[in-house]
Amino acid sequence: MRNLKGKIALITGGNSGIGYATAKELKKNGAQVIITGRRKEAVEQAASVLGVTGLVADQSNLMDINDLAMEVARCFGKIDILLVNAGVTKFSLIEYMPESIFDEVMNINFKGAYFTLSKFIPILNDNAAVVLLSSTSAHISPIQASVYAASKAALNAIMKIAALELANRKIRVNAVSPGPVSTEIMGKIGLTQALENQMTSTIPLSRFGKAEEVAKLIGFLASDSAAFITGSEYLIDGGQCI
């Protein structure tokens, strides 16, 4: 299936996990892909293996977001697919939540995502597709994930308003909300076997998702096959939210 031929895609946080798998999927389907991330070596390594363009940018930093948008416009003109994927997970009970973790999670997952969308709107082609990476955490209320869940619930809210604001340009905006997916993020949160078992027990299909499965859904939403879909949130969670 090469239904993205001639399309240009930007993926924030494309050097690992879901962003990486989606870069591979979109490229396989014919798109020209640009990935970002903070770690220069990881971005260069991923870009080289995938055969895509890698740009270093911190999506929580407004100057970086502006520079990224200008660099993409300079090198590629306008883009057709924007995947706002860069994100982090940090846990704490509300009672003990440090301001530093609150700010870090909100600055990357929400403020950064918001201004990435905002600054890229002028360089989206009409008929472009935007996908925001949300999470089932916005629905299942996992303890210790209050800030993470709030950051994703906030994304879901702006996704719908963006879909309305951009409909006159036929730009579609949707959200994809995975349940637990085996990616590098799990190592970053210090996933233990006990925690994995506990999380798996909340999933009717009794397993974690794969990054490639999420990538295929994003590939569909980014394509013209989804031309009548906007303002929707797609759960991909093995039934976790039932």
Q: Which residues are catalytic?
A: 148
Please state the length of the chain. Answer: 242
Closest separation in Å from C-beta 155 to ligand NAP: 9
Q: Beta partners for 182? A: 210
Q: Beta partners for 172? A: 129
Compute the CA torsion angle 216, 218, 224, 228 (nearest 10 deg): 120
User: Is 184 among the residues that bind ligand NAP (CB under 6 A)?
Assistant: yes
Q: Which stretch binds ligand NAP (CB under 6 A): 90-98, 138-146, 176-184, 222-230?
A: 176-184
Tokens 């697919």 — which residue?
81
- Please choose, from the candidates 66, 81, 71, the residue with its C-alpha nearest in 3D space to the C-alpha of residue 30: 81
Using the 8-state DSSP alphabet, how is residue 64 labeled?
H
User: Is 135 among the residues that bind ligand NAP (CB under 6 A)?
Assistant: yes
Dist CA 207 CA 138 (whole Å): 20
Q: Indicate the residue among 7 and 152 with the shorter CB distance to ligand NAP.
A: 152
User: Is 42 among the residues that bind ligand NAP (CB under 6 A)?
Assistant: yes
Which helix (H) or strand (E) segment holds residue 127: the answer is strand 124-133
User: Is 238 among the residues that bind ligand NAP (CB under 6 A)?
Assistant: no
Closest separation in Å from C-beta 85 to ligand NAP: 5
User: Is 131 among the residues that bind ligand NAP (CB under 6 A)?
Assistant: no
User: Is 108 among the residues that bind ligand NAP (CB under 6 A)?
Assistant: yes
Label residue 17 left, alpha or beta by phi (over 0 means left) and psi (-120 to 50 means alpha).
Answer: left
Pick from 8, 18, 23, 83 the residue near ligand NAP by CB under 6 A.
Answer: 18
Closest separation in Å from C-beta 36 to ligand NAP: 6
Q: Beta partners for 53? A: 34
Residues forming contacts to ligand NAP in the complex (CB under 6 A) are 12-13, 15-19, 36-39, 42, 58-60, 85-89, 108, 112, 133, 135, 178, 180-181, 183-185, 188
